[in-house]
Structure 1
């Protein structure tokens, strides 16, 4: 479940950075069209990988329930951090993507 949480948070942050407003707020410039598409694709790929991680660890029945819980938790965390601590939200996304291979290794 930790791996799914890390991947979901990274995916939601990538989708958040694909928006002009959030990208400019966090990184100081507007994204190019190519970067925006790359962020959208990366975000959706990370969310799909999080679904795979949740389902592969506990099966379809419980895995989908855990995945939806992880989706809500990671989205809530991002929504609460963006207005008050946007740099922390970005740092947590980077850390989550760096730690996810360790979590994947520990899961299997």
Structure 2
């Protein structure tokens, strides 16, 4: 479930960065249209891969329930961090995406 959580948080952060306001606040520049589209695609793909990670550990019934719980948890964490510690939110997403290949090989 840790892999699904890391991928969900990274996906939501990519979707957050695809918005002009958040992109300018976090990175200090306005995103181009191509950059916004790539971030939306990356966010959607990360969320889809997180669904695979959640379902692959258990069957579909429990995997979907776990995935929705991870979705809510990662979205809540991002929403709580953005107003107060936006740089920490971005750093956590980067660290989570860097750690996800390692977490993939850790036995659950």
Coarse TM-score class (shorter-chain normalised)? over 0.9
- The RMSD of aligned alpha carbons is 0.9
Q: Which runs of 4+ in 1 moved over 2 A?
A: none
The 1:77/1:69 distance shift into structure 2, 3 A limit, reads same
Q: Deviations over 1:67-89 (max 9, x none)?
A: 00000000000000000000000
> How far apart are residue 106 of structure 1 and its match?
1.1
Structure 1: where are the runs of 5+ without partners? none
CA shift digits 1:43-94 (9 cap, x unpaired)? 0000000000000011101000000000000000000000000000000000
C-alpha distance in structure 1 between counterparts of 2:79 and 2:48, whole Å: 20
State how many pairs are aligned: 108
CA spacing shift, 1:35–1:102, aligned 2, 3 Å: same
Alpha-carbon distance in structure 2 between the residues aligned to 1:77 and 1:59? 26
* TM-score w.r.t. length of structure 2: 0.98
- Find the counterpart in structure 1 of residue 89 from structure 2: 89
TM-score normalised over the length of structure 1: 0.98
Q: Which runs of 5+ in 2 are unaligned?
A: none
